[in-house]
Amino acid sequence: DGGITQSPKYLFRKEGQNVTLSCEQNLNHDAMYWYRQDPGQGLRLIYYSQIVNDFQKGDIAEGYSVSREKKESFPLTVTSAQKNPTAFYLCASSEMGQRPLGTEAFFGQGTRLTVV
Amino acid sequence: SQQGEEDPQALSIQEGENATMNCSYKTSINNLQWYRQNSGRGLVHLILIRSNEREKHSGRLRVTLDTSKKSSSLLITASRAADTASYFCATGSYSTLTFGKGTMLLVSP
């Protein structure tokens, strides 16, 4: 089945630890995205990537890092510099970016990160 | 920065009624998309309307786009209890999708 897979579904992090969230897609999509969702805040863009070995910061990139070494993988690391990391993290992919006409995004099922 | 803003924030209706949600945005766009999210799950794409289109239909969904007013509406006709979810509009511009805060729809049997 084609799709986008996030793991783990639930993740617990101690204060001061870095953690990495996995996102894999087998849709052969060029573009991949990471969003953060807090209650009542909607989705906010952390990072996005249009092509392998290239990525750009979104609106709330501070305290996060990403890599795009393979087309199908876009892992997100939540570093200890992120002061309030407890949230629901969503990864998405689309066939191409939103220019010129735009394409739909496919989302994973999310990872809920909690700091303990 | 959040581009789209949905209205109302919450909507409660009975099965069989129609549900209308609105989205306003601020800057020029290439397209506008609507997504649905069930509690604690990922988002599912519903419909995409391009900036040169005014109306689009998909099953029980009808989307309109008014670029002069920078607004869009999503109409769900003959709603069902299974339509209960949060609905988000997302604007596509340049390379990314920017989401609003969503409308929570509750459909009671």
Residue of B nearest to A97 (CA): B95
Q: Percent of chain A beyond pLDDT 90? A: 76
DSSP class of residue A73 equals: B
Which residue type sits at B31?
Answer: N
pLDDT at residue B29 is higher than 60: yes
Distances (CA, A) of A6 to A19, A34, A58, A83: 14, 11, 20, 23
* Yes or no, beta carbons of A41 and B95 under 8 Å apart: no
Q: What is the pLDDT of residues A26-45, one digit of tens each?
A: 999 999 999 999 987 789 99
Instruction: Return mean pLDDT, chain B.
Output: 92
The structure tokens listed for A109 are: 């099922």
Q: CA angle A42-B43-B20, nearest 5°? A: 70
Residue A96: the pLDDT is: 73
Residue A29: the pLDDT is: 92
- Contact in structure between B25 and B4 (CB atoms under 8 Å): yes
What DSSP element (H or E) covers B45? strand B43-50
Average pLDDT rounded to a whole number, residues B27-52: 92
Question: A34 CA to chain B: closest CA distance, Å?
Answer: 11
Q: Is B56 on the interface with A (CB under 8 A)?
A: no
Question: B9 CA to chain A: closest CA distance, Å?
Answer: 9
Average pLDDT rounded to a whole number, residues A72-95: 94
A94 CB neighbours in chain B (<8 A) are 97
